[in-house]
Amino acid sequence: MLIAIHAGAGPVSSDLERHERESREALLRALSTARDLLEHGAAAVAVVAAAVEILEDFEGFNAGRGAALCSDGTALLSASIMRGFDRAAGAVAGLRTTKNPVAAAEAVLATDQVLLIGEPADVLAAENGVEQRPNDYFITEYAISRLREELTAESRGTVGAVCVDVNGELAAATSTGGITGQPPGRIGDSPLIGAGTWADARVAVSCTGDGEAFIRAGVARYIAALVEDGAELEQACARAIGCVSELGGTGGLIACQPERAVCMPFTTEAMPRGLWRAGADPRVWVTDSE
Amino acid sequence: MLIAIHAGAGPVSSDLERHERESREALLRALSTARDLLEHGAAAVAVVAAAVEILEDFEGFNAGRGAALCSDGTALLSASIMRGFDRAAGAVAGLRTTKNPVAAAEAVLATDQVLLIGEPADVLAAENGVEQRPNDYFITEYAISRLREELTAESRGTVGAVCVDVNGELAAATSTGGITGQPPGRIGDSPLIGAGTWADARVAVSCTGDGEAFIRAGVARYIAALVEDGAELEQACARAIGCVSELGGTGGLIACQPERAVCMPFTTEAMPRGLWRAGADPRVWVTDSE
């Protein structure tokens, strides 16, 4: 059993430093909740959803409350989730009112659809009992100040989780508010199965970084195809991240396999992240040098 | 030089038979236009866009005018396009008013974004001079009758094109109206780079079929990864289509490489499709047995 989580990849910024202590606490809360669930036999897909909800609720990360704001000052939220053993997937893009976007993605996973966009996705979430909030709920003073200062480089983060449950089954989930100042309607890799999120029987992946480069590299599906063809996880992740770099993008990802292999590569200065494995203590890291 | 096109994969239905002669004519028009452009040195990305626009304009195919209708009776249009040599990509999902969705995707390709959803995507297209129409323009009597009769199985088709230009460069494009009776907001694989559409320096792919299964199989990116690792195109396509079948889906795809390798596999009874190669006559096919 293991759970790995991330909360975006970017520079060592004032944003990061301002929130560092609370960020580490939020990562530990997510790991702790995930561990409890895993030790009680919860399925991987429920565990990644629960972990990501905690990261969404912490306003220091760019997902759920505290998300980066579009150029028109609104929050536009997206998320996806995928279950490894049957490749069931759910994704939502362009949410405005769902408190926990990953819960909306989980609601879509239970339907015949995979991706719902816009208001119908909020409506489906609400019909499934997922809490709704006015768009103002997501908008923090700090996010407004970032929009005012056009600190786009600092807000490319997303949050995500990958997991191996007690049965050796995998899941992955990712959630984001996008990029500060993005045009309304712009969607990155986070809600795209195969770009920002993937899980099959062999590997689970959640990405963060320059969304457009991650889409154009098809990062998560690329890693899975390489692993299927016999590549080591570390080598597959390195090739995928290399592909993003060739396209001029930076970022990171977390990936795991049933045999407890875990990779958490990133090409930025920092990627707040955490890992818990059965029998060990939860650990969190922020920068590369730790 | 070559251009391959498709117009959906499905059963030999009354829908198909009703439109067969005009469908073949539309496919030939698209091939003929593409050939003229290619012979005049046009770039692959412009050629696939032009071919797909012709397929969108023909109301017998499920893209642009004549698209399948959502459960609320409206048309919801999506498309994507990708250029091989630099992997530039553009995609739009949930359009309501852009006459040629692939032209909107091409407009996004020219921006820093890759995927725009909803009204902002229509607005960007309009700002780039792409013709707009009221949503009624897309809604044909025939599409209304299909919605009334819930003929969902007959309307999974999309249209798409892959191309090798005079410089040996690749591009792919895909456009769709989705599934008859789909919930508003439901998006399939067609606008998703890596699922329904892909182009890099080695291979270009455009898919059609059960969108959810194609997303969960990550078809287009999977083929590209296998080809990069040395698989023959035919073998890579077979593995990807096999993956869709394992997930309970049917459909087809067109794929090509610079060395003039072309594959057009499908697991349905029919997939209207066409091919032109430099030095040969354009050809079109509809069923498997032709």
Q: What is the pLDDT of residues A65-78, one digit of tens each?
A: 999 999 999 999 99
Among candidates B207, B259, B197, which has minimal Cα distance to B233? B259
Question: Is B88's Cβ below 8 Å from some Cβ in A?
Answer: yes
Q: Where are the alpha helices (DSSP H) in B58-181?
A: 101-109, 119-127, 141-148
Interface size between A and B, measured as CB pairs under 8 A: 138
User: Is residue B155 scored above 80 in pLDDT?
Assistant: no
- Chain A nearest CA to B115, separation (Å): 5
| pLDDT at res. A155 | 54
User: Is residue A5 scored above 60 in pLDDT?
Assistant: yes
Q: Are A79 and A176 in contact (CB under 8 A)?
A: yes
* Mean pLDDT, rounded, for B197-224: 98
Helix, strand, or coil here: B169? coil
User: Kind and range of the H or E element at A78?
Assistant: strand A77-83
Contacts of A184 in chain B (CB under 8 A): 120
Estimate the crossing angle of helix B119-127 against helix B101-109, to 10 degrees: 80
Residue of A nearest to B190 (CA): A115
Contacts of B124 in chain A (CB under 8 A): 183
* Mean pLDDT, rounded, for A232-257: 97
- Chain B nearest CA to A47, separation (Å): 20
Q: What is the pLDDT of residues A251-276, one digit of tens each?
A: 999 999 998 799 999 999 999 999 99
Report the distance separating Cα B286 and Cα B290, nearest Å. Answer: 7
| pLDDT at res. A153 | 55
Q: Are A56 and A102 in contact (CB under 8 A)?
A: yes
Report the distance separating Cα B133 and Cα B205, nearest Å. Answer: 29
Q: What is the pLDDT of residues A164-177, one digit of tens each?
A: 999 999 999 999 99
| pLDDT at res. A146 | 86
* Mean pLDDT, rounded, for B64-86: 96
| pLDDT at res. A266 | 96
User: Is residue B223 scored above 70 in pLDDT?
Assistant: yes
> For the CA atoms of chain A, what is the radius of gyration?
17
Q: What is the pLDDT of residues A99-114, one digit of tens each?
A: 999 999 999 999 999 9
Amino acid at B181: G
Confidence of residue B234 (pLDDT cuts 50, 70, 90): very high
Token duo for residue A164: 């191996």
Q: What is the pLDDT of residues A6-39, one digit of tens each?
A: 999 988 877 677 788 999 999 999 999 999 999 9
Confidence of residue B260 (pLDDT cuts 50, 70, 90): confident
Report the distance separating Cα B63 and Cα B286, nearest Å. Answer: 18
Task: Collect all residues with Cβ–Cβ distance below 8 Å to B92 and sequence separation of at least 6.
Answer: B77, B78, B79, B80, B98, B101, B104, B105, B108, B115, B116, B117, B121, B125, B191
Report the distance separating Cα B3 and Cα A56, nearest Å. Answer: 46
